[in-house]
Amino acid sequence: MAGGKETPRQKMIGMMYLVLTALLALQVTSAILEKFVLLNNSLETSTGSSNRVNQETVEKIKQAVSKSGNRPADVAVMAQADQVRKTSSELVAEIDRLKQQITVEAGGGTDEQGNIKNLSEEEKVAQIMIKGESRNGEAYKLQKTLNAYTESMSKIGNAKYGSMALDGKDDPIASRSKDQKGKDFANLNFAQTPVPAALAVLSQKQSDVRRVEGEVLDYLATKVGAQDVKFDKIMAMLSMESKVVVAGTKFKGEMFLAASSSGIQPRMSLNGGPVRMDNGKGIIEFTAQGGGNYDKQGLSRRVLSGSISYNAPDGTVKTVPMQAEYFVAKPSYQVETGTMPPLYLGCANKLSIQSPQLGALWNPSFPAEGATVIQSGERGKITVVPNSQRVRLSVVNAGTTLGSEDFKVNRVPRPTIVYYVGGNRVTDPRGVPANAARSLRVDAEPDPSFAAYSPQDANFRVTGVTVNLARGTKRVVGPISLGAGGGSLGAMAAEMQPGDRITIQLDGVQRRNFRGEISDVPMGTQLQVISLY
C-alpha cells in the first residue's frame, strides 16, 4: 500500500481493533473470549497476506534493478528494500515469540484441536507483559522496539509514521477516558487482559508492521529506474497566443501532445533561480517589471532563459536549455470624471480611473497629497475630497506606481440669492403690487454647473433675513426678523402703500456638504430693495 491508503479489509481490521481496545477494561464472558480468538485469527490472516504482497514488491524491485543493468543507484535502493524486509520480519518474529510465550505460560498451551486451554487467564498475561511495579515486562521492551521501527521506516520511506505503541495519554481513544489516559502502553493493553485479547493486540501490531513495511517498499519501488526517462504521462496541451480575444479578431494557438515521466525528478531553473516543482512540472510565476524601454506600441521585449536538468541512464546529468520571449505592456490608465479638473474644495469629487490593458489585474490604490480619498468598493472608482488648493493623486497597482496626476482646486461658487414676494419671483424692475406683498421667500440657488457636478454638495439655504418698510426717507415699519427662507409680511401689510419700498437685509447663508456637515458661506453685504406700486 502506498500513500497511506487502506483496503476495505484493512479498514475492517482497524475497526475491529478499536472494538478490542474498548473491551479490554470489561469483564468478558466466554462467548466474547471466543470472539477475540476469531479476531486474532483474522488479524493473523491479514498479516500473512500483507507479507506475501510485500515479498512480491521486493521481487519486482530486484527485477527492475536487473533489467536496468544493476546501476549503483538502483542497487543501493534494492539493498534498502532487503534491509526493510529483514527488519520487519525480525520484528514480526519477535512478536510471534511473545504470542507463543503467552499461549504456553498463561493459556496453558493448546489441546489436541489446537485450542488454547485457558482463555480467561489474565494474571499470568500481566506477569509476562508488565511484571507488576517493576515495570520490566515484555511490553515495555516491545514498545521501544515498535517505536524505533517506525522512526527508522520514516527516514527510509520519506514519510512520517506515527508511533505504534502509545501510552494512554497519546492514544486517540484512551485519552478520552479518565480511567485509561493515565496508563502506560503496557498497562493499557495487557493489564486485566485475557489471553486471546492479548494475542489480538500483538497480532494487530504485526499487521501494522506489515502495513508500514508495504508502504516503504512501494516508495522504494518508485525510485528504481528513476534515472530512466520513460514518458508515462501523456497530456493534451493547447498553447494560445492570448487568452483575451477581441470580438471580430482571430483566435490563434497550437494544440499538441506533451509527455512527462513519473520516474524522474527534473531540476529546473529560470533566469538563474530555481523553479518550484509540482507533480513533475515547473510552476513559473513572477511580477512583470517595466523598464522604460517601450516601443511606439507601448511594448517592451523580454527574454526568459532557463534550463531543465535530469539524470540520464548512463549516470550523467543532461541539461536542456530553453529561451522564450514575451512582451511587457506599458500600464496605462484613463481618468474619467463628469467634468474634468479642477476639483472643488471640501466636496465629493467622483473620479473613475481605469486601465483596459490590465483588465482583471487592475486593482489600484490612490495615495493623495492635499486630499482624502474614499474608496467606493468598485475598482478604480473613488471620491476625492480636497483640503488644499492643489491635489496630487498617485496611481499604484500591485505595488507599482503607474503615474501621478495634479489637480487644481477651486472654491465652491457662491449661490445666487433669489427673492419671491407673494409667491412670485421678483423680476419686474418696477417692483411688485402693494396689495400682493403678503409673504417673502428668499432662496440661495447653487451654480448650475456645480450642482450638476456634485449635487450632494450643492445644498444652500438662507438662515434668515431682516425686513423694513420705508416711505420716502422714513422707515414706516421694522425692522422685522424672518427665519430661514423668509416668512409672512402680514405685520407690515396694513401699512403698505404704492410708492413704498421693502428693504431686505440677508442675515446669512449656509451650505450642507455630502457628509451632512454645515458651514457658513461668506456672501458679503446683501441688501435688496423691492419697490411697491
Q: Where are the domains of the chain?
A: 8-223, 233-329, 334-410, 416-531
Amino acid 1: pLDDT: 36
Find out whether 339 and 300 touch, Cβ atoms under 8 Å.
no
∠249-250-256 over CA atoms, to 5°?
Answer: 155
Strand order in the sheet with 424-425: 424-425, 416-421, 439-445, 486-488
> For the chain, what percent of residues have pLDDT higher than 90?
20
Report the b/e string of 234-268 with b at 16+ CB within 10 A: eeeeeeeeeeeeeeeeeeeeeeeeeebbebbebbb
Phi/psi for 251 (5° steps) reads -90, 130
Asked if the model's pLDDT at residue 399 lies above 70, the reply is yes
- Please compute, for residue 6, the number of CA atoms within 13 A of its CA located in the half-sphere on the CB side: 14
Find out whether 247 and 225 touch, Cβ atoms under 8 Å.
no
Query: What burial class does residue 198 get, using C-beta atoms within 10 Å of its C-beta: 0-12 exposed, 13-18 middle, 19+ buried?
Result: buried
Angle between helices 72-101 and 138-157 (to 10 degrees): 160
Task: Tell me the pLDDT band of 338, cut-offs 50, 70 and 90.
Answer: very low
Convert the pLDDT of each residue in 30-63 to its tens digit: 667 777 788 888 888 888 899 999 999 999 999 8
Task: Tell me the pLDDT band of 339, cut-offs 50, 70 and 90.
Answer: very low
DSSP annotation string for 362-391: --EE--EESEEEEE-SSTTEEEEEE-SSEE
Mean pLDDT is highest, among 159-168, 237-246, 293-302, for: 159-168
> For the chain, what percent of residues have pLDDT higher than 70?
83
* Of residues 28 and 42, more confidently modeled: 42
* Of residues 144 and 263, more confidently modeled: 144
How far apart, in whole angstroms, are the C-alpha atoms of residue 295 and residue 302? 12
Mapping DSSP onto H, E and C, the string for 191-242 reads CCCCHHHHHHHHHHHHHHHHHHHHHHHHHHHHHCCCCCCCCCEEEEEEEECC
Q: How far is CA 77 from CA 4, 82, 217, in A?
A: 21, 9, 10
Asked if the model's pLDDT at residue 65 lies above 70, the reply is yes
Omega prior to 479 cis, within 30 of 0: yes
DSSP annotation string for 441-509: EEEEEPPHHHHHH-GGG-EEEEEEEEEEEEETTEEEEEEEEE-TTEEE-HHHHTT--TT-EEEEEEEEE
CATH of domain 334-410: 2.60.40.60
Task: Tell me the pLDDT band of 495, cut-offs 50, 70 and 90.
Answer: confident
* Of residues 415 and 21, more confidently modeled: 415
Asked if the model's pLDDT at residue 313 lies above 70, the reply is no
Task: Tell me the pLDDT band of 216, cut-offs 50, 70 and 90.
Answer: very high
Convert the pLDDT of each residue in 85-137 to its tens digit: 999 999 999 999 998 998 899 888 888 888 888 888 889 988 999 987 878 89
The stretch 133-145 carries a mean pLDDT of 88
Find out whether 340 and 350 touch, Cβ atoms under 8 Å.
no
H and E: helices and strands count for the chain: 9, 26
Amino acid 146: pLDDT: 93
Name the 3-class secondary structure at 349. strand
Phi/psi for 459 (5° steps) reads -115, 100
For the beta carbon of residue 434, count every other beta carbon within 10 angstroms: 17
Amino acid 353: pLDDT: 85
Asked if the model's pLDDT at residue 228 lies above 60, the reply is no
Mean pLDDT, rounded, of the chain: 82
How far apart, in whole angstroms, are the C-alpha atoms of residue 160 and residue 164? 12
Name 431's Cβ contacts closer than 8 Å, sequence gap at least 6: 530, 531, 532, 533
Amino acid 437: pLDDT: 85
Find out whether 532 and 501 touch, Cβ atoms under 8 Å.
yes
Phi/psi for 10 (5° steps) reads -70, -35
Find out whether 226 and 265 touch, Cβ atoms under 8 Å.
yes
Amino acid 22: pLDDT: 53
The stretch 493-499 carries a mean pLDDT of 87
